Structure formats: C-alpha cells, structure tokens
Amino acid sequence: MASSSTSSSGLTFKLHPLVIVNISDHYTRVKSQMQQPSSNSNSDGNSNSNGNDRVYGCVIGVQRGRTVEIFNSFELLYDESTHSLDRTFLEKKQELYKKVFPHFYILGWYSTGTDAHESDMLIHKALMDINESPVYVLLNPSINHAQKDLPVTIYESELHVIDGNPQLIFVRSSYTIETVEAERISVDHVAHLKPSDGGSAATQLAAHLTGIHSAIKMLNSRIRVLHHYLLAMQKGDIPCENALLRQVSSLLRRLPAIESEKFQDDFLMEYNDTLLITYLAMFTNCSSTMNELVDKFNTAYDRHSRRGGRTAFM
C-alpha cells in the first residue's frame, strides 16, 4: 500500500514534537495495559506484527497555503475486527477540541507500526469526509540504536494506475520539526531529564536559562551603577563630565525601544483590567456603605414607630 516514491503535491509539512510525544505515550499506555506474554514477542523485545498492539488517533493543526503544520493529536477508537471507526467518539473529540482550539482542523490520522498496512487505507478513506486529502503519520515504536533519524514517516495519498486499475496508495512526504517556546521547554525537560550530582534535575534548558539570568543580572547591575552615578552628578556630589554624559546618551539610544503594536495591545489590556478591578472595588465599597446606611435608617425608623405607638396607647 506504500510506494517508495515521494509525494508530488508540493506541500510542506511541519511536525511539532508534542505529536510525537502523544503517539509514543499512547502506544506505551496501551502496551503496558495489554500485558502480553513473552511468547508473543520477538527476540528484540517487540511484539509480533499482529496488529493488536497498534494505536490510532487523529492529528490536528492548520494549513496555510502550501504549508501544513501539525500541532497536536488525540486518540481514536478503532475496531480492528470490523475495520470501523467510532464516529460518535470522533465527533465528540472534534467538538471539544474546537472549543479550545477553534482554528485547528483535523489534518489526518496517526498509527504505529513498521510500515503501512492494507487496512490503513480503509481508515484513510473513512476520514476523507472530514478532510479531502488527509495525512498519515506513522510512528515506528521498535528501538533501533543505529538509526539517528526520527522513526516517524508522513504519508500522503495519491491515485496511481496499477495494472490498468486506478488505486489510492500512500507516498512518502518530507517534513521538518517545528516547535514553539512553551512546547520546547516541556519537550526539553522530558527528553533531556537526567539526575545531577546534587540530586536535582539538570537539563540543557536549565543551563540555558541560567546563562540568560546571569546576563540579565549583570546588565541590571551595570545599569544601576550608571543610574547612581548620574544621580550623584545631578546632586553635585561629583563634577559633571560632558564626555561621559554623551557616552551614556549614545548607549541609551542603542537600547531597543519597546514600541510595537503587540506591546501597546498588551499594555492597554492590562491597564483596562486594572481600571476595571478598581471600579469594581469602588462599586463594592459604595454598595457596602449604602447597605450600612439602609440598615441604620431601618433600625432608627423602627424604634421611632414603636416609641410613637406606645405614646398613643398611653
């Protein structure tokens, strides 16, 4: 079902590490829950390719022009005996993801194995009513220490004429790994976590953040020295040096000014939130004061009524 040729669609695929972690986690959980006996395993520790240890799911993301970016994935319920998907479960998961990620769409599906199977095309065709040209992400869970590349293959489907009959087959597509800052932090902690001499977790990210913190700390200390020096010069404690002032002015001009549309939007949003909280606090205080005034008025009015009633009775 899979051809050795590459895709001719011209699409550029960007795969996020979160998808690989999700597929690996899905396979590991299913593998541990099945607890197959050792007789069903090969000499290398991998289960036989009977299809029982395969997992299935959908990949979601966005497509901008000819660029397809796969951000996330979720699991699917697939009955291997009838080769059918649980459409109710799929629609429910799609609806839930739409509420959190409204701009994400189902781009295709994923599975595990060493190669594409004949039954994979049935799942592929079943998802064509959601996406006309779904992608197929295949993760090979077998461990090969000699292989340095990621054991992930992305397939597209193309219509080829084989023996005079048009058939839909899988063709390989190239891809690149794309990541964002928040995703890089979490994936780096998972991939490079190792115990250090002190017993804590030491990662490449921790070393990177430590270097950034040291640089910012040094910059802060030097700016503080200049600030104290300029204050002392302003007060007359030290003589004024025009040459030094020109150097400080030139240094400040080289600093990047925070003037951008995103900064203005974030600043105005935070400013409006602060004003809203202030107004709410003021309204709450006014309501509390008004409530106390009404209570005092009711108490005084009730006493006056009772006092007036007793006088009339006497």
| pLDDT of the residue at 70 | 92
Q: Are residues 187 and 210 in the same domain?
A: no
Contact 156, 9 (CB under 8 A): yes
> Is 115 a domain residue?
yes
More confident residue, 162 or 38: 162
Judge whether 173 lies within some domain.
Answer: yes
Give the pLDDT confidence of 48-86 residue by residue, as tens digits: 444 457 899 999 999 888 899 998 899 988 887 777 888
Asked if 112 contacts 54 with a C-beta cutoff of 8 angstroms, the reply is: yes
Predicted pLDDT of residue 137: 92
Q: In terms of domains, do 177 and 206 share one? A: no
Question: Which CATH number goes with the domain that contains 87?
Answer: 3.40.140.10
Q: What is the mean pLDDT of residues 90-97?
A: 88
Q: What is the predicted pLDDT for the residue at 57?
A: 92
pLDDT higher than threshold 90 for residue 110: yes
Which of 254, 276, 292 is where one domain is finished? Answer: 254
11-20, 195-204, 243-252 — most confident range: 11-20
Please state, rounded to an integer, the average pLDDT across all residues of the chain.
79
In terms of residue numbers, what domain contains 248?
A: 201-254
Is the domain of 15 the same as that of 129? yes
Question: Are residues 96 and 238 located together in one domain of the fold?
Answer: no
**Does residue 111 share a domain with residue 87?**
yes
* Overall number of domains in the chain: 2
Per-residue model confidence as pLDDT tens digits over 209-232:
788 889 989 988 988 888 888 888
Do 92 and 212 share a domain, yes or no? no
Confidence of residue 193 (pLDDT cuts 50, 70, 90): low
The reported pLDDT for the residue numbered 23 is 92
Counting every residue written for the chain, the total comes to 314
User: Would residue 129 count as lying in a domain?
Assistant: yes
Who contacts 196 (Cβ-Cβ below 8 Å, separation ≥6)? 202
- Does residue 311 register a pLDDT over 60? no
Sign of the C-alpha dihedral, residues 180, 186, 187, 189?
A: positive
- For the chain, percent of residues with pLDDT exceeding 90: 10
What does the alpha-carbon distance between residue 80 and residue 83 come to, in Å, rounded to a whole number? 5
Long-range contacts of residues 309-314, Cβ cutoff 8 Å, at least 24 apart: none
Instruction: Verify that 103 and 127 share a domain, yes or no.
Output: yes
**What residues form DSSP beta bridges with 175?**
13
In a domain, 299, yes or no: no
> Of 141, 166, 192, which marks where a domain is finished?
192
